[in-house]
């Protein structure tokens, strides 16, 4: 009797961790998919290559639901492209990134999606897209339907940045209702624009609009006010809603309480809001930490982390924005015009794993849910975020006890700084498998070339998370 043909790859000896549990197992991979997760006591099937994960964790490849790749906002263009950002993502254990198709002034939302999809052809990992709507007109409903039919079922809405990308309350309502009917979810940047503009005017009048004063120009109350208003709209129209980069316990609590009332509402936060605080603005380079919303007070960071530990935060997004120190410094005397955002697609895993698991004791299963499983589900990305037969063969193998000091010299993002410079972090990937290919191992990075797929989002079901 002839033996079966060998499988492409086996990952053996490690502890496989999913959102629903963990156990010693062997992961069997062929054709870019996981074909079996078998008992570790069983003999290995014939294989072309084996990865020995003994003593290490094996988790699903990360799904980053919040990346800005090579975008231009105003006079500032981000420094990376899909090739560079995806390489950095893979180094950091993220095997799927979700970017934003934000329309240029006068550009239709559907046209922005089509343009972005073409740019994604150079990606080394799988990609997906959020659309973006800034104003409602008599063509928008049809464009949303066409986006959904083409596999884009999440749409970004900004409640701030007036006259640039801000969507008014009427637009928010119409998008929530229309997108829900298409099997999608709106992703909302929630800050009350009128509060922010007033705070900025007051700061500028007192010569306190420079980077070191950034927190006072976008106060916490602006976030809670906008979250409350959008939640009321979502509840009114019976639509789901996802809040990006939430920074305060109050904002998270509003979402949690709405969900208890039956609203399908979800919270994302970012590693920098769990790890850094407003003391960074008192340092020698405050401009490097300017992001929107700002880093919050130390007490607010502790409270936000506590909400994550009890399960009130659903996902971790990097909110990756790749600028240089020169770009960040050019207009650092006025946060209203300087570029905001931090580089972070590569450091999402080690920073958040260190703060939540290593230091605070979060179960790795819950971390996996936030890092991979929930972002996949909330973006309609079937076959992602789980180590199971039939899933895409995206895996990260790492030693949770191994630590390394973060340094821009050893990172791969196309920025010349990292906000975590000098921090000792755990959770650095040792092996990364993307689409069944070993792209990172002890020998270094193996560039797979532009093999990333532009993924189509499936309709997002009514009941996603427990």
Residue 413's domain is classified under what CATH number? 2.30.40.10
Determine what percent of the chain is predicted with pLDDT higher than 90.
97
Reported as a pLDDT band with limits 50, 70 and 90, residue 466 is very low
**Contact in structure between 298 and 274 (CB atoms under 8 Å):** no
For 12-60, write each residue's pLDDT tens digit.
999 999 999 999 999 999 999 999 999 999 999 999 999 999 999 999 9
| Residue 279 and residue 393 share a domain | no
| Residue 239 and residue 168 share a domain | yes
For 402-413, write each residue's pLDDT tens digit.
999 999 999 999
Distances (CA, A) of 297 to 215, 233, 274, 303: 9, 29, 11, 10
- End residue of a domain, out of 346, 377, 408: 377
**pLDDT score recorded for residue 5:** 87
**pLDDT score recorded for residue 97:** 98
Which strands form 315-316's sheet, in the order they lie side by side? Answer: 62-64, 94-100, 126-132, 154-158, 185-189, 241-243, 265-269, 315-316
| Residue 362 and residue 325 share a domain | yes
Determine what percent of the chain is predicted with pLDDT higher than 70.
98
| Residue 177 and residue 317 share a domain | yes
Domain housing 235: 61-377
CA distance 220 to 228: 13
Asked if the structure places residue 18 within a domain, the reply is yes
| Residue 162 and residue 31 share a domain | no
For 215-244, write each residue's pLDDT tens digit.
999 999 999 999 999 999 999 999 999 999
Asked if the structure places residue 29 within a domain, the reply is yes
């Amino acid at each position: 009797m002839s033996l079966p043909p060998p499988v492409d790859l086996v990952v053996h000896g490690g502890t496989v961790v999913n959102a629903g549990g963990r156990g010693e197992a062997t992961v069997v991979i062929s054709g870019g998919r996981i074909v079996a997760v078998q008992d570790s006591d069983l003999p290995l099937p014939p294989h072309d290559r084996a990865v020995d994960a003994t003593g290490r964790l094996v988790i699903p490849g990360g799904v980053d639901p919040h990346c800005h790749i090579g975008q231009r906002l105003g006079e500032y263009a981000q420094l990376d492209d899909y090739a560079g950002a995806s390489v950095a993502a893979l180094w950091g254990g993220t095997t799927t990134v979700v970017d934003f198709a934000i329309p240029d002034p006068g550009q239709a939302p559907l046209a922005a999606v089509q343009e972005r999809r073409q740019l994604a052809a150079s990606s080394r990992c799988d990609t997906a897209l959020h659309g973006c709507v800034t104003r409602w007109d008599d063509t928008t409903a049809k464009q949303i339907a066409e986006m959904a039919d083409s596999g884009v079922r999440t749409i970004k809405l900004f409640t701030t940045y007036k006259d640039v990308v801000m969507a008014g309350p009427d637009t928010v309502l119409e998008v929530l209702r229309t997108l829900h009917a298409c099997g999608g979810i709106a992703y909302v940047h929630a800050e009350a624009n009128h509060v922010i503009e007033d705070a900025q005017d007051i700061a500028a009048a007192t010569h306190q609009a420079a980077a070191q004063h950034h927190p006072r120009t976008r106060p916490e109350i602006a976030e809670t006010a906008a979250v409350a208003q959008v939640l009321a709209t979502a509840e009114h129209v019976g639509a789901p809603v996802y809040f990006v980069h939430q920074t305060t316990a109050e904002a998270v609590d509003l979402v949690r309480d709405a969900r208890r009332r039956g609203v399908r509402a979800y919270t994302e936060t970012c590693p920098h809001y769990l790890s850094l605080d407003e003391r960074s603005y008192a340092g020698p380079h405050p401009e490097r930490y300017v992001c929107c919303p700002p880093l919050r007070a130390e007490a607010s960071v502790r409270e936000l982390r506590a909400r994550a530990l009890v399960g009130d935060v659903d996902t971790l997004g990097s909110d990756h924005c790749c600028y240089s120190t020169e770009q960040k410094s050019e207009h650092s005397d006025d946060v209203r015009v300087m570029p905001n955002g931090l580089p972070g697609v590569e450091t999402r895993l080690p920073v958040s794993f260190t703060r939540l698991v290593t230091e605070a004791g979060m179960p790795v299963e819950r971390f996996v849910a936030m890092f991979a499983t929930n972002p996949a589900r909330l973006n309609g990305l079937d076959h992602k975020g789980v180590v199971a037969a039939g899933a895409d063969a995206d895996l990260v193998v790492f030693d949770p006890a191994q630590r390394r000091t973060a340094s821009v010299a050893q990172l791969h993002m196309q920025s010349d700084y990292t906000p975590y410079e000098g921090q000792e972090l755990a959770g650095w990937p040792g092996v990364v498998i993307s689409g069944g290919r070993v792209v990172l191992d002890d020998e270094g990075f193996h560039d797979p070339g532009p093999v990333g797929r532009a993924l189509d989002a499936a309709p997002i079901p009514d009941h996603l998370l427990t």
